Amino acid sequence: MQERSKIHVGLDVHKDSISVAVAEPGRTPGRLIGKVPHDVHKLLKVLAKVGTAEQLHIVYEAGPTGFGLQRALQAKGYSCEIIAPSQIPRRPGDRIKTDSRDSVQLAECSRAGQLSAVWIPDPDDEAIRDLSRAREDAVNSRTQARHQLKGFLPASRRALHRQDLVVRRLLPLAGDAELRRRCSPDGVHRVLASREVRR
């Protein structure tokens, strides 16, 4: 019952801005308060106008901004949850997505108890996750480079083999002892030899 008497705040968080909406207890529809830059201090000023930290229940959608905002709000005493985008109920045929509508919908769904929060890892767990993802990316890049190199080598070997055949067939026809001496078995002067034969 105490959770329903709280003021529910929905945030639509982006890299540059945060849209703030409020759904107060009762059946009143949610309303948009405003849009602030992505700055915790400015957001705290807006939240202080809505109510105290004990009165507010804040939710926002998980995204590329990570868990920094949730940790900052929790350090200030606010109850804040992060919601998975797939868990937010959508009305059929509702295809219009704007920041203000998303924040109002989050606030209303939070008030109705329709949202389930995701698990928020500790900073140590998040560091281990980042390390394992970086290692996985490095292994995938190495594998891709190996496959590209293996795909390139047979083609280059075929090209070198063709060039060897051309030089071997033209040398007897050239009849030039100096040219034969330049085309040593290690293949250092093969390209020069083939150019001289063409002349």
pLDDT for res 186 = 47
Strands (E), 39-130: 56-61, 79-83
* Average pLDDT for 114-124: 85
The residues that bridge with 57 in the sheet, in sequence order, are 8, 79
173: helix, coil or strand? helix
Confidence band for 132, pLDDT divided at 50, 70 and 90? very high
**Is 156 a residue whose pLDDT tops 60?**
no
Which domains are present in the chain? 7-120 (3.30.420.10), 125-198 (no CATH)
Residue entry with tokens 């995701």: 118
Would you say 7 and 57 are in contact if contact means Cβ atoms under 8 Å apart?
Answer: yes
The edge-to-edge listing of strands for the beta sheet with 17-23 is 31-37, 17-23, 7-13, 56-61, 79-83
**Is 122 a residue whose pLDDT tops 90?**
no
Q: What is the pLDDT of residues 1-39, one digit of tens each?
A: 455 578 999 999 988 999 999 998 888 888 999 899 989
